A and B are shown apart, each in its own frame.
Chain A
Amino acid sequence: MPMSMSARCSTDRPGGCKPPGQLGRRFLMSLVLLMEQALNGLQFGIMLFLMAAGLTLIFGVMGLINLAHGSLYMVGAFAAAAVAGWSGSFLLALVASLAAAALAGTLIELLVIRRLYDRGHLDQVLATFALILIFSESTRWVFGSFPLYLQVPAALAGPITLPGGIQYPVYRLLIIAVGLAVAAGLFLLISRTRIGIRIRAGENDREMIAALGVDISRLYTLVFALGAALAGLAGALVGAIQSVQVGMGEPVLILALVVIVIGGIGSIKGALVGALLVGLTDTLGGFLLPVLFGAFLEPSAAASVGSALASMLIYILMAGVLIFRPTGLYGAGT
């Protein structure tokens, strides 16, 4: 045993020679780190779910590709920042984000989106892309070019120690809780209520439920407003720990599109599973790959190669899922 220890010391890098007690502690440390990263992945996935749920509902029910979904996320964040700055209340800010995004969603549905249902996807992409530009520039016009201030409320700031010695920010736990609550609420809404029945019917056969006397245009506006409100809530929740600025929605939109492709378009369950998969893959991949490459590359190269590969990982995941399930994990099939 002492022999093997000394052999380890001589071959190891400088500073890498540790007595066995410390090695054990290091293993425990990395286990804690791994758990913490898993929580981070979960939180990231939940946030993506809030975005993807609206997107997939809108696509599923109306067959519409809404690129402006990221703008609604931005509207929520800006509304929250403005109201928090004015009233000082974070709860009020969250309510404002829901209301503002739902209002913006209703408005664009009535004015623009409504005219696009019968058009091809290309027209929809073009029109909703125009909406992104309009939203971005009018937000800059109203709020200026500099990022806004939105802070986590003092009561939720700082970390909490979880069982196992993991230090984790309280606010991120709150995001996980809110996201799970929204997911549960959506499942109940879709599976147990009359509106839910209509939404599901709308996904299956639009003409038929219109023929059965359901006011389809009101249903569409409602679904759109609901999706917008969820995006706005995500924007406000995330804006408090990231930055509230023009153009914040587009990177998230791309990830949300990946999520609904993986989960299967139109499926809330698919959106949840897809979001968690993407969140965990992205976070754990970004953390583990550089470590993995570090085993046989020098640190600087390992960091560079590892993070380059990690940023491709979710797209590789998407390609993999599509090979085996072309309609996504919970897609309706053809």
Chain B
Amino acid sequence: MKLKSLILAASMAAMASGAFAAAHGGKVKVGMITTLSGGGAGLGIDVRDGFMLALKMAGADNVEVVIEDDQRKPDIAVQLSDRMIQSDKVDVLTGIIWSNLAMAVVPAATAQGKFYLSPNAGPSALAGKGCSPLYFNVAWQNDNLHEAAGAYANDAGFGKTFILAPNYPAGKDALTGFKRFYKGELAGELFTKLGQKDYASEIAQIRASGADSVFFFLPGGMGIAFLKQYKGSGVDLPLVGPAFSFDQGILQAVGDAALGVKNTSQWNKDIDNPANQAFVEGFQAEYGRLPSLYASQGFDTANLLLSAMEKADITDAAAFQAALEAAEFDSVRGDFAFASNHHPIQDIYVREVIKEGDVFTNKIIGTALEDYSNAYVDECKM
């Protein structure tokens, strides 16, 4: 009896001291839900690798990361987030690549009082009316890179651009974003099927439209297919698009067909600041490949979290939110701040695809938008 109660007391004490450590030792448990299998796995792997690299480089031993694969399925992402919140007891969620998955997970997670730091997806619904004090986007609002492409099209003197994107919410946002800044006339506007791999029909229409340039948003394999077929078609109008079709992970698969194409991005490996140099070198040393846009976003997300942990304890949500809002970390992008709706204010660059030795990569050739935030700031009331 005595022994039993002694054990009970001891275990109670152990639990209490455990709780004590969790509350005051500044330890944070992060739940990362990202895509590690299936078609879009390359993006999730890069986000994960960038995030983990930042923790390793900072020598952070007070962050515990639980990583799970969402298989790019909203229902699985929701299950994972429920499990992470309820049984793993994470403090912060992050990792989601796709906007439809983010829409399924983020509102529920923030409603349960968890912070969500988005390393990629930035749907307009979460930037405007659906914004939350606990939701931070470290990458961009979905429209941003397309808006920058529209601004670039004006600078480049394009007057008759043909625009195309897949027929799904992010595709519609892309064309809306482009048109928000583009001042010229449209030679044509097309929505393709999501996941479409054959663009012969679209390219024939571009050829016949009398356009002087083409804007396209076709992420992943769709972009590879489009670029290869565009090159083979003999149509040689200038192309412009967001960075997603020209990222490190897919450029090698596109090959020569991407050379010289202009694309818009908030990051590139040649941005000249110490944080970026350390990131690019560290990433190559750790993983043996060049970092991508997504890796840079994962890296910044982890560093943002670490900067907030230095200033506030996660148990004090208001203080932690203020620490995140301050965004006092060395972003690989250079200047970085949050707008009032918790989306970045940043420069968006124009890049050109080049070949360095045997490797296809990008080089910054100009700035499309300076210190730009997003179109939804005023709609967000928090």
Contacts and interface: CB of A to CB of B under 8 A. Distances in A.
Interface of A: 15, 29-30, 32-33, 36-37, 40, 43-44, 136-137, 140, 145-149, 151-152, 157-159, 167, 169, 171-172, 238, 240-248, 251, 283, 286-287, 290, 299-300, 303-304, 307-308, 311
A40 B255 contact: no
Contacts of B221: 147, 242-243, 245, 248
Interface of B: 37-39, 41-42, 45, 167, 172, 175, 185-186, 188-193, 195, 197-198, 200-201, 204-205, 207-208, 220-222, 224-225, 228-229, 231-234, 249-250, 252-256
Contacts of A36: 204, 207
Nearest to B222: A243
A308 B254 CA distance: 28
A158 B204 contact: no
A251 B195 contact: yes
Contact of A140 (B41, B190, B197): B41
Nearest to B179: A300
A242 B228 contact: yes
Contacts of A147: 42, 220-221, 224, 249-250, 253
Nearest to A286: B201
Contact of B190 (A157, A159, A290, A311): A290
A288 to B, nearest CB: 10
Contacts of B201: 37, 40, 283, 286-287
Contact of A37 (B186, B204, B252): B204
Contacts of A300: 175, 189
Given A40-B204, A299-B186, A307-B190, A167 B233 contact: yes
Nearest to A306: B191
B189 A159 contact: no
27 contacts: A29-B208, A36-B204, A36-B207, A140-B37, A146-B253, A151-B255, A159-B234, A169-B232, A240-B228, A241-B228, A242-B197, A242-B224, A243-B222, A243-B253, A245-B220, A245-B224, A246-B39, A248-B197, A251-B195, A283-B200, A286-B193, A290-B190, A299-B186, A299-B188, A303-B190, A304-B191, A307-B193
Contacts of A172: 200, 232
Nearest to B167: A307
B158 to A, nearest CB: 16
B234 A158 contact: yes
B193 A311 contact: yes
B57 to A, nearest CB: 23
Contact of B38 (A33, A247, A283): A247
B20 to A, nearest CB: 42
A289 to B, nearest CB: 11
What 8 A-B pairs are tightest by C-beta distance, nearest first? Answer: A159-B234, A243-B224, A147-B253, A243-B221, A242-B225, A40-B200, A247-B39, A242-B197
Contact of B234 (A136, A169, A241): A169
A135 B15 CA distance: 46
A91 to B, nearest CB: 18
Contacts of B255: 149, 151
A241 to B, nearest CB: 5
A267 B207 CA distance: 38
Contacts of A137: 37
Nearest to B229: A241
